[in-house]
A and B are shown apart, each in its own frame.
Chain A
Amino acid sequence: MLRYVIRRTGAAIMTLIAASIVIFAFIHLIPGDPVYVMLGDGATPDQVAALRARLGLDEPVVLQYLIWAGNALQGDLGHSVFFETPVTQVIADGAETSILLATMTMVWIVGFGIPVGVLAAMRQGRWVDQGLSGLAMLLASVPTFWVGLYLILIFAAGLGWFPSSGYPSIFEEGGLANLRYLVLPSIALAAPNAALILRLTRASMLDVAREDYVRTARAKGISPTRVVVRHILRNALLAVVSAFGFTFAALISEAVVTETVFALPGVGRTVVQSILRRDYPVIQGVILIIVCLYLVINLLVDLSYRMLDPRVELE
């Protein structure tokens, strides 16, 4: 187990280095220059040259990479060209929104997708199942921004139950009540993913229910609820848990759209805006952190297999 974790961590570090080189190369390969974006129409060549020098953009790209990587190793991701503040601060500012949004979304996904999937499987073929499966297909097919805009129109502009957009920190005036700003965005973001988890849970439950040991358990006279929870669901979850790794990746990319529609100050929107502004340090920093998160989550998913199913060998 320990050897496995060490080996996987080593591989993760190699992936990280490779990813950082690819990110750096790709960003600098796109044409466009933050200096023109910052100085606007009236910039003279002298101003452009001066600003490029001040930002260190006049060095060769390889040297820029080495300087950046060296600093990143010491926890310094550089300064945002646009905000003129440390990248770590820009990311930290967006992290609260993104983490809370992801958490709330996962709560909807797990709290809705799994129980409803179980329910659909238990009522296989009946109208409950068909209704729920139809709903799941609908949710999975509708684009996130469309769901988001309609949620705003109905629940914010129409009924006035929730704020339309933005998110003040929970550490500011309003406290935990500020979480209401995240209700609509998290539902919009959860919808397609919860639908997928619902479908997966249902399919996986039905597969497991056909296993011999389930029939044996039933024959032994174990209560139906216990059969479903202990014998079927626990085994069915194995497939669902590994899907969480993908769901997380999907959340990151879909969050960009959701954060834009709901004007949330999250990391996803920051990185898209930074790409348009060619704010290299921010793009590099955010993507590096996303890669790290992705690696860690996949490692956790692999480790959790063993907890769910002791027969799994981690080698």
Chain B
Amino acid sequence: MKFGQLLGGVAFAALMASPVTAQTLRYATVSEPPSLDIQMGTATLASTIAQHMFEMLYAFDAAAVPQPFLATGETISEDEKTITIALRDGVVFHDGDAMTAEDVAASLNRWAEFGSRGKLLGLEKAEATGPLEVTLTLTAPNGAWKSMLAYPNGGPVIYPADVATAAGGDTIAPEDYIGTGPYRFGEIRPNRYVELVRFDDYAKIDAPLDGEAGGREALFEKLQFIPVPDVGTRMSGVQAGDYDYAEYISGDLYGTVKDDPGVQVKISAAPIFGLMFMNSDTGPLKDNYVLRQAILASLDMEQALQVSVGEPELFKADGSFFPEGNVWHSTSGTEAYSEGDAEKAKALAAEAGYDGTPIKLLVSTNYKEHFDQATVFTRQLADAGINVQMVVVDWATLLTLRGQPAEWDMFVTHHGAIPDPVLLTVMNDSYPGWWASEEKQALAAKFTGTSDLETRTGAWGELQALIYEQVPVVKVGNVYSFDIASPALSTPWDGAPAFPHFWGASK
């Protein structure tokens, strides 16, 4: 054998050898996460990653009921404005310090002042009233308080007091990512991965896992979140064994993978839903509820979902904002959903005095579903004599334009699954669309004014009926995204949670 051949053979063998990394979970993500300081942002990917490092006072169990997590229980005052929370003893931060009431109070206060969902709770102040006791004072009773303290997406995760105080309104730098979770921060390599490492001194709750609540356990040594933007590559990467888990596989690939023994399909347990907002601030739709009803009447959601999703197992035309089985599920008002009745729409448009003024529909091409749905809607609206002009831009542009009321009449977006209606974007008066009618505010006050679940679910039913009457937003339908995993990966859940978590997972 010539030397050249020998060298070639060695090089080839070296090129083909693959490293053994059984102790690392490799998760292929769609993109790169923004800051993992999730008090400050609501990006799904950031929450998915950061929930392994940062924990909260409460956590949702499998039935989506908040259970004490870093807390052990609470007492609520008569007027529901003072909540005293007892904290779990023996919880340690990744830097070795024990968690105290001071840390919890500082984290909650920072979140209330600067956090992206901080204003929703109406927290006046959080005070340490004992070494392991925190007292929250609310400006008004808030029925959703426990859900807010359990929802990691833009929620009040607990940091050490000095980290929370020093950061203030700025995002926390990666070197200060210190939490109490089963994984601690490893490193961020732009474009390559975010790596978390098992935290050996983790204070595990002595109870079985139940949803996100209960005893979390890090069975992997490391978690790596790797950006793999191309969906075909995410899929073949799992088939080739390069990734253990890949998120957001597109619906058109469902047929390819559902019977493939080389992958596990994890259909989402938390449907996302498309939304088309209407401009309540300016323009032809401002307060012309009848014209909005005409638009709603002309839309056939089944058709839009068929075109945008395709696979029947992955969508459901459902007008309720919360899926069946959820405590917030209600059918109030949904008889107006997905009528697809051009004649009725024409009659309503005539009654509304619609004169053919073009209606500007803002949509982005970055999400194929948005664009497909908008295209179908434009066609259906044209059949009802409603003249829609699509304004097609990229997502970053849409985010800017939708903040400017004069630029649009309707825009298409989507919404993730949430634990409480108070978190719906349409409930936020300052979210683009700016729906803040008197009727809404009266019902919203009734809805948030109490912790009594029955009163709250009743009020939500009325609010949903009002949404179908005033039509500040149109719900398109439930879309069940799906992820895939290698056959060897075992996870403590079957359907993928909104933020897939990997404590208790192994391979």
Contact = CB atoms under 8 A, between A and B. Distances in A.
Interface stretch (A12-20, A41-49, A127-135, A190-198): A41-49
A41 B425 contact: yes
A90 interface: yes
A180 B400 contact: no
Contact of B240 (A160, A174, A262): A160
Interface stretch (A28-36, A113-121, A237-245): A28-36
A308 interface: no
Contacts of A174: 19
B163 to A, nearest CB: 16
A263 B240 CA distance: 14
Interface string A64-98: 00000000000000001011110001100110000
Interface residues of A, number: 60
A157 interface: yes
Interface in A139-196: 145, 149, 152-153, 156-157, 160-166, 168, 173-174, 176-177, 179-180, 183
Given A38-B41, A39-B41, A166-B242, A180 B396 contact: no
Contacts of B41: 38-40
Given A31-B401, A42-B116, A177-B14, A277 B229 contact: no
A50 B169 contact: yes
A278 to B, nearest CB: 5
Nearest to B120: A42
Contacts of A41: 42, 425, 431
A37 B226 contact: no
B399 A93 contact: no
B490 interface: no
B237 A269 contact: no
Contacts of A43: 116
Nearest to A50: B169
Contacts of A32: 394, 396-397, 399-400
B226 A263 contact: yes
A31 B28 CA distance: 30
A262 B16 contact: no
B403 interface: yes
Contacts of B117: 42
A31 B236 contact: no
B230 A260 contact: yes
Nearest to B398: A32
A261 interface: yes
Contacts of B35: 38, 84
Nearest to B404: A31
Contacts of A93: 189-192
Contacts of A44: 119, 430
Interface residues of B, number: 56
Nearest to B46: A40
B165 interface: no
Contact of A163 (B114, B188, B242, B431): B242
A273 interface: yes
Nearest to A80: B190
Contacts of B154: 40, 42
Given A32-B396, A39-B41, A263-B227, A163 B240 contact: yes
A183 B15 contact: yes
Contact of A180 (B16, B188, B232, B397): B16
Main SS class of interface, B: loop
A265 B192 contact: yes
B330 to A, nearest CB: 23
Interface centre among A38, A166, A183, A269, by most chain B C-beta atoms within 10 angstroms, is A166
B192 A165 contact: no
B34 A82 contact: yes
Contacts, number: 152
B173 interface: yes
Nearest to B188: A83
B43 interface: yes
Interface string A257-291: 00011110110011001001110000000000000
B236 A277 contact: no
B357 interface: no
Contacts of A180: 14-16
A230 interface: no
A210 interface: no
A54 interface: yes
B17 interface: yes
A262 B173 contact: no
A278 B395 CA distance: 10
Contacts of B338: none
Given A37-B396, A47-B114, A84-B35, A165 B233 contact: yes
A183 B11 CA distance: 12
B124 to A, nearest CB: 18
B320 interface: no
Interface centre among A39, A40, A50, by most chain B C-beta atoms within 10 angstroms, is A40
Given A31-B400, A174-B19, A263 B228 contact: yes
Nearest to B169: A50
A176 B14 contact: yes
Interface of B: 14-19, 28, 31-32, 34-35, 40-43, 114, 116-117, 119, 154, 169-171, 173, 188-192, 226-230, 232-233, 236-237, 239-242, 366, 393-397, 399-401, 403, 425, 428, 430-431
Given A36-B400, A260-B230, 6 more contacts: A33-B396, A40-B42, A47-B116, A149-B232, A153-B236, A270-B191
10 contacts: A31-B400, A94-B191, A149-B233, A164-B233, A164-B239, A168-B192, A183-B15, A263-B237, A276-B394, A278-B396
Interface of A: 30-34, 36-45, 47, 50, 54, 80, 82-85, 89-90, 93-94, 145, 149, 152-153, 156-157, 160-166, 168, 173-174, 176-177, 179-180, 183, 260-263, 265-266, 269-270, 273, 276-278
